[in-house]
Amino acid sequence: MSATVTATNGAEQPLLVADGVTKYYGERLGCRGVSFEIHPGEVIAVVGESGSGKSTLLALLSQRLALSAGRVSYRQNGHLRDLAELSEAERRRLQRTDWGFVHQDPREGLRMNVSAGANVGERLMATGWRHYGRIRQTANEWLARVEIDTTRIDEPPRSFSGGMRQRLQIAKNLVTHPRLVFMDEPTGGLDVSVQARLLDLIRELVANLGLAAIIVTHDLAVARLLSHRILVMKDGEVIESGLTDRVLDDPAQAYTQLLVSSVLAA
Amino acid sequence: MTGAPALIEVEGLAKSFTLHLRGGLVLPVVSGVSFSVHPGECVALGGPSGVGKSSILKAAFGNYAADQGRIWVRDGDTRIDLASAAPRTVIELRRRVIGYVSQFLRVIPRVSARDVVATAARDGGADESEASATAERLLARLNLPERLWSLPPSTFSGGEQQRVNIARGLAGRHAILLLDEPTASLDAENSAAVVALITERKRQGAAILGIFHDLPVREALAERIIDVSAFAKASKPAGVAA
A246 CB neighbours in chain B (<8 A) are: 62-65, 87
Binding-face residues of A in 6-25 toward B, CB within 8 A: 6-9
Q: What single string gives the DSSP state of each residue in B20-56?
A: GGGTTEEEEEEEEEEEEE-TT-EEEEESSTTSSHHHH
Q: How close B71 comes to chain A (CA, Å)?
A: 11
**Chain B interface test: which of A199, A230, A246 (most B C-beta within 10 Å):** A246
pLDDT per 10-residue tile (average), chain A, 266 residues? 39 90 96 97 95 95 96 95 95 94 95 96 91 95 94 96 95 95 92 87 90 95 94 97 97 95 71
Q: Which domain holds residue A92?
A: 16-111+178-261
Cα separation values, A194 from A82, A187, A200, B60, B162, Å: 39, 8, 10, 37, 29
Residue B109 confidence class, pLDDT cut points 50, 70, 90: confident
What per-residue confidence (pLDDT) applies to A197?
A: 86
User: Is residue A152 included in any domain, yes or no?
Assistant: no
Residue among B58, B80, B110 whose CB faces A7 most closely: B80
Per the CB < 8 Å rule, is A1 touching B84?
Answer: yes
What local confidence, expressed as pLDDT, does residue A20 receive? 98
Does the pLDDT at position B221 exceed 80? yes
User: Would you say residue A21 lies in a domain?
Assistant: yes
- Of the candidates B18, B75, B108, the beta carbon closest to that of A7 is on B75
DSSP A206-250: HHHHT-EEEEE-S-HHHHHHH-SEEEEEETTEEEEEEEHHHHHHS
Nearest-neighbour CA in chain B from A35: distance (Å)? 15
Give the residue-averaged pLDDT of B61-88. 96
Q: How many CB pairs under 8 A join A and B?
A: 70
Domains and CATH numbers, chain B: 1-97+213-242 (3.40.50.300)
Residue A161, in any domain of the structure: no
Residue A87 forms contact with B (CB below 8 Å): no
Indicate if the pLDDT at residue B132 is higher than 60: yes
- Which of A243, A257, A262 should we substitute to test contact with B (largest number of B Cβ atoms within 10 Å)? A243
Cβ distance B19 to A250 less than 8 Å, yes or no, reads: no
* pTM (whole model) above 0.80: yes
Q: Across chain B, what does the average pLDDT equal?
A: 92
Cα–Cα distances (Å) from A226 to A192, A207, A232, A238, in that order, read 16, 9, 15, 19
Strand order in the sheet with A43-47: A99-102, A180-184, A212-216, A43-47, A229-234, A237-243
pLDDT band at B233 (very low <50, low <70, confident <90, very high): low
Nearest residue to B180 (alpha-carbon basis) of B73, B45, B79, B65: B45
pLDDT category of residue B242 using cuts at 50, 70 and 90: very low
**What DSSP letter does each residue of B175-242 carry, written as one string?**
SEEEEESTTTT--HHHHHHHHHHHHHHHHTT-EEEEE--SHHHHHHH-SEEEEGGGGBSSS-S-S---
Is residue A119 assigned to a domain? no
What confidence category does residue B110 fall into, taking pLDDT thresholds of 50, 70 and 90? confident
Residues A40/A15, Cβ–Cβ less than 8 Å: yes
The verdict on residue A164 lying in a domain is no
- How far is A156 from chain B, CA to nearest CA, in Å? 31
Q: Which of B58, B62, B89 sits opposite A7 (nearest CB)?
A: B89
Determine whether the interchain pair B86/A6 forms a contact, defined as Cβ–Cβ distance below 8 Å. Answer: yes
Q: Considering its fold, how many domains does chain A have in total?
A: 1
How far is Cα of residue A99 from the mean position of the Cα atoms in its chain?
9
Predicted confidence at residue A207, as pLDDT, reads 87
Residue of higher predicted confidence among B23 and B104 = B23
Given this model, what pLDDT does residue A226 score? 93
Contact A242 B89 (CB under 8 A): no
The predicted pLDDT at position A264 comes to 65
Q: In what order do the strands lie in the sheet with B207-211?
A: B98-101, B176-180, B207-211, B42-46, B224-227
Say if A145 falls within a structural domain.
Answer: no
Query: The domain that contains A241 carries what CATH number?
Result: 3.40.50.300
pLDDT at position B105, please? 86
pLDDT of res. B45 = 98
Please give the share of chain B, as a percent, with pLDDT higher than 90.
86
Asked whether residue A233 is domain-assigned, the answer is yes
Q: Testing the interface with B: which of A2, A6, A230 to mutate, by most B Cβ within 10 A?
A: A6
Interface test with A, best of B58, B88, B107 (most A CBs within 10 A): B88
